[in-house]
Chain A
Amino acid sequence: MIAEIRLFLLRSLTEMRYDTDGIDDDTVLGPAGADLESLALAELAMRVEDQYGVRFLDDEAERFAAMTVGEFCAAVENRVKAASAT
């Protein structure tokens, strides 16, 4: 599932017109890497909710900035699994 989430993330970044060249699992999503600003991170959280039906609350979405692509995909996967387990 991680691979699919990674594809979803890259597609989202492309639609949001961020440069995805050179982005890999170690790239940080926030200003230190892919350079997503706070509203873009908020939009990303909405896209996750729309796609996977799981919601990240405000403080969780804010933590996306410090996450790498790999960490973000794992976090989404964990949330989806937790949601489907209940």
Chain B
Amino acid sequence: MSATGAVTGIGLVSPVGVAVETVFDAVCSGRSGLTRPPEDHPLHGVVDVAAFGPPIAADSVLAPKDARTVDRSIVMALRAAEDALADAGIVVGRDVDEYRVAVVLSGVGGLETLAQQALERSRRGRLGVSPFMLPGVLPNMAAARTAIKFGIRGYTSSVGTACAAGGQSLGEALRILRAGEADVVVCGCTEAPLFPTFADAFGNALALARGWPDPASASRPFDRRRNGLVLGEAAGVFVLERPEFARARGADVRAALLGWGATSDAYHPTTPRPDGSSAAESMRIALRDAGLEAGDIGYLNAHGTSTKAGDAAETKAIHGVFGANMPPVSSTKGVTGHMLGASGVVEAAISVTALRRGLLPPTHNLDDPDPACDLAHIRKEPLAATVDAVMSNSFGFGGHNVSVIFGRADG
């Protein structure tokens, strides 16, 4: 078995809060982040319900001249990265060599900025296109801006696997640490999909939940009446370190990233492989990578987006891996909505907190479990349980499957 990644810092910007404990309390108590778009929001009348993150002034993370030209995805990422580094007590250059820090920060990029620029281009021609468009739009810019803001000069990348990108960024970070290519990795994902063109793309693909009088009930993973996902925005950033490095600097290690797995469905651009076989294999690879057996997993945070096909395929995958050893399972998207790639990081934070607190969050709105989703559901109330290892799944359009496993810091 190979080395682990020490979790020393977490920063979140999510529809249910920015502090990790606040987010965890929300998913445990069912305090929903799902609302109707306010009347002054561009999504009003476009979607029934969405999961909005808190307003964050761009000026709070960037100089005014830079704040003017960045996408919301960047603003959320910088806030989450700042909070994660502060949580870890790391000042780059003081606590770690600037070339020994890596950044793996993902997401689809500043697509709202691109959409606005396309409108301006059609309205005003060439002069409608800002020279600042590319640093606003390119998907690597969350990583690049993070490197610039915090003086990080090591390996930098951005993973483009849609809703699996957050989980995969944690996995890539672990690979970098194991290879000894960095002492610290700032890793995560940021997504700001709440604008009309993007929302219509999901809506027209019939992927969105619809027809729920109470917006808080629209996201209902594994429930018989589920009819789609609720789009959400979020950023999540972890600080992972080589365990030896974290120990040497006296860091407070919250948990250990023990292993991860990644596979591809090789099936369809948007529909998950119905038998869940590739997703199952990503969980098996993660178990092997962590040196664990299926029975060692004490909690599984499912991808569970509340779509008909996705939840059923994940159920098959979980059965295939765990059989009679199925751990308690929940999807926390009932209160957070689907924050696309950032879900994997927010849910990793929730899973780590569940491990530390001995409290497993339920699946909100799971009133009537679908027989096609016959899992060991945690429903209505959180479940108190001492667990030593937790798994979190993330699956993305394109058929990307990622599973990550966390264990105790002292394990």
Contact = CB atoms under 8 A, between A and B. Distances in A.
Interface residues of A, number: 10
A41 B131 CA distance: 9
Main secondary structure of the interface of B (DSSP, over half): helix
A43 B131 CA distance: 6
B65 interface: yes
Interface residues of B, number: 9
A17 B64 contact: yes
B130 interface: yes
A4 interface: no
Interface string A39-60: 1101100100110000000000
Contacts of A43: 130-132
Contacts of B68: 16-17
A18 B135 CA distance: 18
B131 A17 contact: no
Interface string A5-42: 00000000000111000000000000000000001101
A39 B132 contact: yes
B127 A50 contact: yes
Nearest to B69: A39
Contacts of B90: none
Contact of A18 (B65, B130, B131, B132): B65
Interface string B130-147: 111001000000000000
B294 interface: no
A46 B65 contact: no
A18 B65 CA distance: 6
Interface of A: 16-18, 39-40, 42-43, 46, 49-50
Given A16-B68, A43-B130, 4 more contacts: A39-B132, A43-B131, A46-B131, A50-B127
Interface of B: 64-65, 67-68, 127, 130-132, 135
9 contacts: A16-B68, A17-B64, A17-B67, A18-B65, A39-B131, A39-B135, A42-B131, A43-B132, A49-B127
